[in-house]
Structure 1
Amino acid sequence: MFSVGAYLQIAALLAVTFVSFFIWTYLTSPSPNLVSLSDPKLLRTLYNTRGDYLKSKFYDVNSAKVGHEIIYNVFSTRSNKEHAHAIRPVRKLFTLSSLLKTEPLIDATIQTLLSELDSNFVLGENAGKTCKMDNWLPFFAWDVIGSLTFGAPMGYLDKGCDFDGSQRSGVETFFYFACVGQIPELDYFLAKNPVMRIGPPAFNGPAILCAQRVAERQKEFEIKGKTAHKDMLEDFMRINREDPSIMDENAVIGALIVNVLAGGDTTGILLCAIIYYVLKDQSVYRKLMEELDAANLPCPVSYASAEKLPYFDAVVKEAARMHPGVGLILERVVPAGGLTLADGRVLSPGTIVGMNAWVIHQNKEIFGDDAASFNPERWLRGKAETDEGYQVRLSIMKNHDLTFGAGKRVFESCGSKPRMAHPVLLVYEADWDRCKASEKEQDRGLTSIRG
């Protein structure tokens, strides 16, 4: 019989051999199997509504392992059939009419944010202190997601810090996704190891958190026979109780993971981008303030009020174009028949292809010669432009917007547009004269969010 130490040595040797094999296989591949494309004419081919360009194994890494089960979600599943099955029962929860019912929860979180900013950086002995908005805006975003998903904020605004490490874990999770996704087979040795998880944080932590919330809510239901909660967790569990074949418990957990990670992360990034670009450009700032002053806005700003602000809407679109939340290639697999490129070359079936929003959004043919600059005016009709010409130009830009993906698997953005009313009030309350941070410091802050 071998000793425990001997077994550990054998396991370590096998681990090194396993990792070395896959790294060597990828590095010595006779030809690259991933092609990054930047031709905007191919966007509607790769990301069409038929879905014949399936997602690659890259997305498998986005699934989570809880216990001995691997839980897929609407983002990680590669099967169009499974995706349709998962999205069908919850799609109605993300409609505009459904999300507008949650405005009181969002308004309460806005008031909490403003109160915390006042007490920590504006009033009394704290007046004039530097406020790291790239911390507070994610706190706000995650608290909003907590309210919508679990019926109560996560508590980051009240505590003023990442008190439970969840946000840091979220950043590390996406870093794991970005790196291990390049060799997705490694995920089954690391985070999804059947014996013991190895390596950095993956999606297991957030999955366990969501599983715990489901168990707590289920226990409450079993004791009381009913629950009075009005949140997405309750909506998901009601669907599960009515018909588990439509949405089983794993599907509930998967839906919660998408809400918590994708919702909190992308919303926080976009809020930071909006504030950053507006405060960096005084002409944009002044023009936006003029529109907000003239609008006689309520506090907090409602979606109905924000919808009537064309320049603000342009600012949001431009911030999303300049700083999309996902900086990775949205990978797809070339189907049978191959893919013919503009120069006549043909990529064979099975080749992994994809586009990066950070590349497409800088295309001058689509977004103009100043595509590298922040210019909200590009989303508005020019003085010398006909309405027909403007509509054509606007349609072209919208059709090449990869902020939330495109085609059959476009990301259900959790009703992100209603939440775009939030930064109106934040910018409106800002005092340009207090923004003393250097451009270098601002760039560093935004880069840290890009993560």
Structure 2
Amino acid sequence: EHYGFIEEERDVQGMIKESTDGLRYFAPVSQAPWLDNWLDKNPIYRIGPKPLVNGLLYTAARLADYQKRLAEGTLARAKVDTFIDKYHGLRDVHPDVADSNQLVKWLMLNVLAGGDSTAGALRPIVYHLGKCPEAQMRLQSELKTTRLSVPAQWKDIHKLPYLDAVIREATRLNPAVGLMFEREVPTAGFHLPDGR
């Protein structure tokens, strides 16, 4: 189901702003994690992004609508299972692990983070292919000769060596997550098994 951002030409339910505010906070905090205790986890005065209420409400509403249509027998199945289909299937198989709260948490990851990381991965691929027409033509040739189904299936895509090389090189040059992750090293330093 579409969020409606493009159709309505606006930030529907403030989800983009919510996500952007969160990233602005987590960028410096991921570099200096101790700041989080002083800011967002401050017991006296909290300074941090607002809780992700809009995304949570949107996700819970989509799940409730899905479950209602499923119960009524009016759920139109897509050609390919969506995340909500797969998560709901897990709930049927593992109700002790995948309860409604867990489904909302999993779906929240798709709603709030999915677009940023997907766009972050695709952007450098498109950019570098645009800068290197030879690579673009070679990739197009590989894709045409493979005759992929629509939508393409993982069992076919993961066997394409040039596509794999393009994705790996683009993400090496421009990682989707541009922030450095915290690294905790013992006071005496860290030594690899070979002694370095």
The whole-number CA distance in structure 1 between the counterparts of 2:8 and 2:133 is 29
Q: Does 1:253 align with 2:129?
A: no
Q: Does 1:188 align with 2:41?
A: yes
Q: Does 1:302 align with 2:155?
A: no
Q: Contact between 1:177 and 1:202, CA under 8 Å: does it hold in 2?
A: no
Please state how far the C-alpha of 1:257 moved relative to its aligned partner.
1.5
Q: Does 1:283 align with 2:149?
A: no
The whole-number CA distance in structure 2 between the counterparts of 1:179 and 1:209 is 28
Q: Contact between 1:162 and 1:168, CA under 8 Å: does it hold in 2?
A: no
Q: Does 1:209 align with 2:58?
A: yes
* SS across alignment from 1:267: helix
Residue number among 26, 38, 53 corresponding to 1:177 in the alignment:
26
The whole-number CA distance in structure 1 between the counterparts of 2:94 and 2:165 is 43
The whole-number CA distance in structure 1 between the counterparts of 2:140 and 2:106 is 38
Please state how far the C-alpha of 1:170 moved relative to its aligned partner.
2.4
- Name the CA shift for 1:245/1:288 in 2 (closer, same or farther; >3 Å): closer
Cα deviation 1:206-250 (Å, max 9, x = unaligned): 22321222333344456x389565533244345446655322332
Identity percentage of aligned residues: 30
Residue number among 136, 148, 173 corresponding to 1:322 in the alignment:
173
Q: Which amino acid aligns with 2:56?
A: A
Residue number among 273, 292, 311 corresponding to 2:162 in the alignment:
311
Q: What residue is the counterpart of 2:194 in the other structure? A: none
Q: Which amino acid aligns with 2:152?
A: S
Q: Which amino acid aligns with 2:160?
A: L
The whole-number CA distance in structure 1 between the counterparts of 2:178 and 2:10 is 24
TM (normalized to structure 2)? Answer: 0.68
The whole-number CA distance in structure 1 between the counterparts of 2:147 and 2:92 is 42
Please state how far the C-alpha of 1:262 moved relative to its aligned partner.
3.0
The whole-number CA distance in structure 2 between the counterparts of 1:220 and 1:167 is 28
- Name the CA shift for 1:219/1:312 in 2 (closer, same or farther; >3 Å): closer
The whole-number CA distance in structure 2 between the counterparts of 1:204 and 1:269 is 24
Q: Which amino acid aligns with 1:302?
A: A
- Name the CA shift for 1:258/1:290 in 2 (closer, same or farther; >3 Å): same
Q: Does 1:263 align with 2:114?
A: yes
Q: Which amino acid aligns with 2:63?
A: V
Q: Which amino acid aligns with 1:327?
A: G
Mark the runs of 5 or more structure 1 residues left unpaired by the alignment: 1-151, 343-451
Q: Does 1:167 align with 2:16?
A: yes
Cα deviation 1:31-61 (Å, max 9, x = unaligned): xxxxxxxxxxxxxxxxxxxxxxxxxxxxxxx
Q: Which amino acid aligns with 1:172?
A: D
- CA radius of gyration, larger in: 1
Please state how far the C-alpha of 1:251 moved relative to its aligned partner.
1.6
* SS across alignment from 2:98: coil
Please state how far the C-alpha of 1:168 moved relative to its aligned partner.
4.2
The whole-number CA distance in structure 1 between the counterparts of 2:50 and 2:134 is 43
Please state how far the C-alpha of 1:315 moved relative to its aligned partner.
0.8
The whole-number CA distance in structure 2 between the counterparts of 1:301 and 1:228 is 18
The whole-number CA distance in structure 2 between the counterparts of 1:178 and 1:300 is 37
Q: Contact between 1:156 and 1:163, CA under 8 Å: does it hold in 2?
A: yes
Query: What RMSD over aligned residues (CA atoms) do the two structures have, in Å?
Result: 3.8
Cα deviation 1:337-374 (Å, max 9, x = unaligned): 866335xxxxxxxxxxxxxxxxxxxxxxxxxxxxxxxx
The whole-number CA distance in structure 2 between the counterparts of 1:241 and 1:298 is 32
Which residues in structure 2 correspond to 1:69-148 (within 5 Å)?
none
* SS across alignment from 2:171: helix
* SS across alignment from 1:154: coil
TM (normalized to structure 1)? Answer: 0.34
- Name the CA shift for 1:274/1:341 in 2 (closer, same or farther; >3 Å): same
Size of the alignment, in residue pairs? 182
Q: Contact between 2:87 and 2:103, CA under 8 Å: does it hold in 1?
A: yes
Please state how far the C-alpha of 1:289 moved relative to its aligned partner.
4.1
Q: Contact between 2:120 and 2:177, CA under 8 Å: does it hold in 1?
A: no
Comparing both structures, which one devotes a greater share of its residues to strand? 1
